[in-house]
């Protein structure tokens, strides 16, 4: 829908699995979004509880809203206007729930735009999902309805509904995409990416709670992380030889944000200025990606939808650093970016967020 044809009414929003960190971030963004209106934050475990009890930082903007039973989605779907649905359910749990909702919407002739934040529809096929995640896919027949991509790399939504890539994937693919698209580097990307504790979700475990992470850093699943196939899939779409992503994820001692460092073997010698110019040209029309010859700082992007990329090159060696907020750019903000497009709104609507500074 062209931007000048966007209707003035607010689009009703339902969130599936509204009790976790990603959903809490999505609620923060929706609270001030001018074109979306929260109708139902659905959570079996939190039903009936005020939203601000679970997310005290939203007091003053979402007072009066309560978590609803999952059956409350019926009231949201009973409308003659499009409905925006965000699925914030765990991997392996999302597909079946989405299938039921979309079947119900079709039976009621309700138009739904849906963005899934789990991994259930990210990989090319249900068989690929089962190979990586080790469980049976909950709704393989729904794969034809979903596309997966990053807004910066897909000018238009490639499908009726979208699966947003993971936060590690967002940072890494944005760091590698210009090099892959232009054939600037050998198609083997060596990545060290460090994430904050919110990336592990709201439920603490022996490895993720504060005493284990504070003042500490450690690698996990090196060369075997389940998001690497997502990265390779998205980068392969840009052309050239299918890439290999050698990913070494790390747990960092902060709450929010990802810092990714990528080592490139350049095909031809380049200077930092030349590589920076290539990256800047690639992202010229991407409002939320900035490029510099100065390494970015993680604190500058916390609570924003921005990705900052820094370049350094010497001869045939290059280092790309990228920073994002894992909850915003890597999750809730990315989903909202897609939903803006699916609903025909300007893609920046509600996402031009200042950083918090000194976080």
Kind of pairing between the strands at 112-116 and 83-87: parallel
Measure the CA–CA gap between 2 and 338, rounded to whole angstroms. Answer: 15
How far CA 56 is from CA of 35, 142, 203, in Å, comes to 24, 36, 17
Do 165 and 122 meet the contact criterion of CB atoms below 8 Å apart? yes
Q: How far is CA 148 from CA 23, 166, 169, 221, 233, in A?
A: 19, 10, 12, 24, 10
| Residue 104 vs residues 9, 42, 97, 107, 313: alpha-carbon distances, Å | 24, 16, 11, 5, 54
Q: 17 to each of 47, 90, 157, how far by Cα in Å?
A: 11, 8, 24
The helix (H) or strand (E) run that includes residue 268 is strand 258-271
| Residues 6 or more apart in contact with residue 102 via CB below 8 angstroms | 112, 114, 142, 145, 161
Q: What is the dihedral of CA 269, 271, 274, 276, to 10 degrees?
A: 120
Tokens of 263: 């080592």
Tokens at 138, concatenated: 């909950």
DSSP3 helix / strand / coil % (the chain, rounded to 5): 35, 25, 40
Surface-to-core class of residue 257, CB atoms within 10 Å of its CB (0-12 exposed, 13-18 middle, 19+ buried): buried
What is the rounded CA–CA span in Å between residue 44 and residue 68?
8
The owner of tokens 């699943």 is 221
User: What is the 8-class DSSP label of residue 331?
Assistant: I
Select which of 88, 148, 167, 176 is catalytic. Answer: 167
Contact criterion met (CB below 8 Å) for 168 and 193: yes
Q: Checking DSSP bridges between strand 188-195 and strand 258-271, what pairing results, if any? A: antiparallel
Active site residue 167: yes
Active-site positions? Answer: 167
């Amino acid at each position: 829908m062209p931007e000048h044809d966007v209707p003035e009414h607010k689009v009703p929003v339902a969130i599936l699995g509204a009790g976790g960190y990603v959903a809490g971030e999505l609620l923060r963004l929706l609270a001030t979004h001018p074109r979306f209106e929260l109708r139902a934050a659905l959570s079996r475990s939190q039903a009936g509880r005020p939203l601000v009890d679970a997310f005290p930082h939203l007091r003053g903007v979402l007072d009066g809203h309560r978590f609803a039973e999952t059956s409350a989605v019926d009231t949201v779907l009973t409308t003659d206007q499009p409905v925006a649905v965000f699925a914030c359910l765990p991997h392996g749990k999302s597909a079946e729930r989405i299938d039921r909702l979309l079947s119900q919407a079709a039976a009621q002739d309700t138009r739904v735009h849906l963005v899934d934040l789990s991994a259930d529809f990210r990989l090319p096929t249900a068989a690929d999902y089962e190979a990586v995640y080790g469980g049976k896919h909950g709704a393989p027949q729904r794969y034809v309805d979903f596309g997966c991509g990053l807004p910066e790399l897909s000018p238009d939504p490639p499908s009726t509904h979208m699966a947003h890539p993971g936060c590690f994937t967002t940072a890494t693919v944005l760091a590698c995409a210009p090099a892959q698209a232009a054939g600037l580097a050998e198609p083997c990307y060596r990545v060290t990416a460090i994430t904050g504790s919110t990336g592990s979700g709201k439920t603490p475990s022996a490895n993720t709670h504060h005493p284990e992470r504070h003042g500490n850093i450690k690698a996990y699943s090196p060369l075997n992380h389940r998001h690497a196939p997502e990265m390779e899939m998205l980068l392969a779409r840009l052309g050239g030889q299918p890439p290999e992503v050698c990913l070494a994820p790390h747990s960092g001692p902060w709450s929010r944000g990802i810092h990714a460092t990528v080592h490139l073997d350049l095909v031809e010698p380049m200077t930092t200025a030349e590589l920076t110019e290539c990256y800047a040209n690639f992202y010229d029309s991407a409002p939320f990606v900035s490029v510099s010859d100065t390494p970015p700082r993680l604190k500058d992007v916390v609570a924003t939808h921005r990705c900052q990329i820094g370049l350094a090159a010497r001869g045939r060696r290059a280092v790309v650093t990228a920073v994002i907020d894992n909850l915003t750019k890597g999750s809730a903000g990315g989903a909202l970016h897609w939903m803006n497009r699916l609903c025909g709104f300007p893609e920046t609507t509600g996402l031009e967020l200042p950083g918090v500074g000194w976080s």
